[in-house]
Amino acid sequence: MTHLLVERAARGQLPAWAALGEKRRRHVERVAGLLEGWAVAGNLPSEERTRWIAAGYLHDAVKEKPEDELRALLSGKDRALPESLLHGPAVAEIMRREGVDDRELLLALAYHTLGHPEFGRIGWALYVADFLEPGRDLANEWRAGLRARMPGEMADVTKEVLGSRIIYRLEQGQHVHQETITCWNLMAEGQS
Ligand SMILES: [Fe+2]
Ligand SMILES: [Fe+2]
């Protein structure tokens, strides 16, 4: 059964611990809107649709919380993540503590910034929606073209988004996380 927290989030009602300014609230609404459209177009059952929409609303729910508060929730290698990535595993951990045991959804939220080799459909849909949402001012024509291909060509679109994000990081001389590289290799080999 869908946890009440997830059901409420899918209606845009975020938990009391969420910390979202106006601008970020609009961002998560747009991400949730894309996910809802794709879930409907893909004829997903209503419980599945609820999880997709909730993923959109919840993914950045604690992004504005203080770094030390987020880090304190985490252990292992998540605790060592750079500040900009902490909000993923932190929101998943808070939800886990509140009794959410939907592994696919929690993994989607935890790794929405990096991708994860064990992602289910929600994980990739969220990853792609977060990048393609229309409020982001970045390569707008290209991203609109990719949006137009969703959800029918989700595998190809996902691969294109993931690849371009890796290329960007390489061009900037930035670190590319192991999870992200593993995802790319799986997709390139046609296993994911
Ligand atoms: Fe995020
Ligand atoms: Fe986001």
Ligand (nearest to CA of 133): 2
Residue ranges making up the domain that contains 45: 4-188
Look over the chain and give the mean of its residue pLDDT values, rounded to a whole number: 97
Ligand (nearest to CA of 35): 2
Q: Is 72 exposed, middle or buried (0-12, 13-18, 19+ CB in 10 A)?
A: exposed
The 10s digit of each residue's pLDDT in 77-115 is 999 999 999 999 999 999 999 999 999 999 999 999 999
Confidence of residue 1 (pLDDT cuts 50, 70, 90): confident
Question: Residue 54 maps to which CATH number?
Answer: 1.10.3210.10
Our measurement of the distance from residue 125's CA atom to the centroid of its chain's CA atoms, rounded to an integer in Å, reads 7
Q: Which residue's entry shows tokens 């996910």? A: 35
How many domains are contained in the chain?
Answer: 1
- 126 CA → ligand 1 middle, Å: 10
Ligand (nearest to CA of 136): 2
The 10s digit of each residue's pLDDT in 133-183 is 999 999 999 999 999 999 999 999 999 999 999 999 999 999 999 999 999
- 30 CA → ligand 2 middle, Å: 10
Confidence of residue 186 (pLDDT cuts 50, 70, 90): very high
**Cα-based angle 141, 147, 150 (whole degrees, multiple of 5):** 150
Look at residues 123, 121, 66, 117 and name the one whose alpha carbon lies nearest to residue 92.
123
pLDDT of residue 80: 94
- 97 CA → ligand 2 middle, Å: 22
Using CA atoms, how far apart are residues 12 and 15, in angstroms rounded to an integer? 10
Ligand (nearest to CA of 87): 1
- 99 CA → ligand 2 middle, Å: 23
pLDDT of residue 190: 83
Residue 31 C-beta-side C-alpha neighbours within 13 Å: 31
Using CA atoms, how far apart are residues 104 and 176, in angstroms rounded to an integer? 23
Higher pLDDT, 156 or 192: 156
- 112 CA → ligand 1 middle, Å: 6
- 188 CA → ligand 1 middle, Å: 25
- 112 CA → ligand 2 middle, Å: 8
Estimate the crossing angle of helix 46-58 against helix 103-110, to 10 degrees.
30
Look at residues 87, 74, 114, 79 and name the one whose alpha carbon lies nearest to residue 18.
87
What's the token pair of residue 44?
A: 């997903």
What's the token pair of residue 78?
A: 């998540």
pLDDT of residue 11: 98
The region of weakest confidence among 15-29, 95-109, 177-191 is 177-191
Residue type, 86: L
Confidence of residue 191 (pLDDT cuts 50, 70, 90): low
Is the pTM for the entire model greater than 0.95?
yes
Using CA atoms, how far apart are residues 110 and 157, in angstroms rounded to an integer? 21
